[in-house]
Amino acid sequence: MGLFDMLGIGGTKEERDVRAIAKMQKKVLEKFGPPENRQGAIEELGEMKSTAAVEALLMRFTIRVDPGITDDEEKHRALDLIVDADEAALPALKKFIATRDEISWPLQALADLVPEFEVVNVLIETLKKAAVEYARVPEKKVLLLHALAHHRSGEAVSAALPFLEDMDDDVVIAAAQAIAAQAHPAARKGEAAAAANADADPAASGKAAPGADGSALANSAKPDSVEQAAIEAAAVAGREPLILALVRAHEQKNARTTEALAGHLADAGWDVKGFAPKVEAALPEGYKLDNKARIARKVQA
C-alpha cells in the first residue's frame, strides 16, 4: 500500500469516489452536531449525480433530526437533488423502495422522474414482495397501498387483495381503499380528464405517455377502451373479498375497520347482492342499503 492509499487519497477515481461517498454518507446520518455538516454533505452528494451518490442521499430519509423544520428542509433538498440526478437516480430509488421501510419521500422522487405506468409497476411489484415477506412495521404497506389508490390498473386489485387479511387494521383499511378506488366514480372522472389532456398534448407533462411501451399497467392516462374494460373487469374481482372483509370486521367487533370498509364499499358503488342480510347487519349507524342493494351513506337530517 502506497502513502496516498494510507492517507485515503490514492487509487482510481472510482475508488476515491467510493471513499468520498462513504464519508459524506456518514455525515448525512449524523443526527447531532452542527447541521451545516449534514447539509454540506447533502450538497456534495447532489453535485455528483451518480447512482452511488443517490444511494447515500436516500439514507437521509432514514433519520429524523430536531428541530422538525430543519429535518423537513433537508429532506426537501435531498429530494430535489435526487430528482436532479435524473436517470442515474432510478436504480437507487427502486432498490431503496424495494428494501427499506422509509419510502414516503422516495416515492415522491420516483413520481417526479418516471411516467405513471412505471410508478404503478414499482408499486405493484413491491406490494407483491411485501405480501409474502415478514414486515417489521406495517407503515410501508400502508404507504404503498395509499399510493396505489391514486392510480387505476388492471393489476391493482390482485396486488391489494392479500392485505385485506393483514393483522394490522391500517393495512386492511388501506387495501380496501386501493381496491375501491379502482371502481370509484371520482377515479373514472379523473381518468377521463387525464385522457383528454393526453389527447390534446401528449408531451405536455414532459414525460413519455404512459403505456408507450405497451405495458398492461398503463392506466389513467390511456383512453383505450379495451384497456379500460380490462381494468373494470379486474376491479369487480375486488367486490366479494371487500364485502367479506366488511362482514369479518363486524364479526370481530372491529368498529373502526367496519366503518372504514363500509365507506369504501359505498364509494365503489358495488352492490352486495348475495350478501345483503349479513352486510345489513354489519353496517354502522351512518349507512344503509339502497333499493339496488348498494351501501349508501344516510342523509343527515
Closest by CA position to 165, among listed 233, 269, 242: 242
Partners of residue 294 on adjacent β-strands: 271
pLDDT at 231: 79
CB atoms within 10 A of CB 132: 7
Which 3-state string (H, E, C) describes 177-196?
HHHHHCCCHHHHHHHHHHHH
Q: CA 124 to CA 153: how far, in whole Å?
A: 9
Q: CA 47 to CA 82: how far, in whole Å?
A: 10
C-alpha cell at 48: 455528483
The whole model's pTM is what? 0.82
pLDDT tens for the chain, 301 residues long, are: 454 454 555 678 889 999 999 999 999 999 998 999 999 999 999 999 999 999 999 999 999 999 999 999 999 999 999 999 999 999 999 999 999 999 999 999 999 999 999 999 999 999 999 999 888 889 999 999 999 999 999 999 999 999 999 999 999 999 999 999 998 654 444 443 443 343 334 333 333 333 333 333 334 444 467 777 777 778 899 999 999 999 999 999 999 999 999 999 999 999 999 999 999 999 999 999 999 999 999 987 6
Residue 188 class from Cβ within 10 Å (0-12 exposed, 13-18 middle, 19+ buried)?
A: middle
pLDDT at 219: 41
Q: CA 35 to CA 20: how far, in whole Å?
A: 19
Q: CA 166 to CA 2: how far, in whole Å?
A: 57
Q: CA 59 to CA 100: how far, in whole Å?
A: 10
Residue 101 class from Cβ within 10 Å (0-12 exposed, 13-18 middle, 19+ buried)?
A: middle
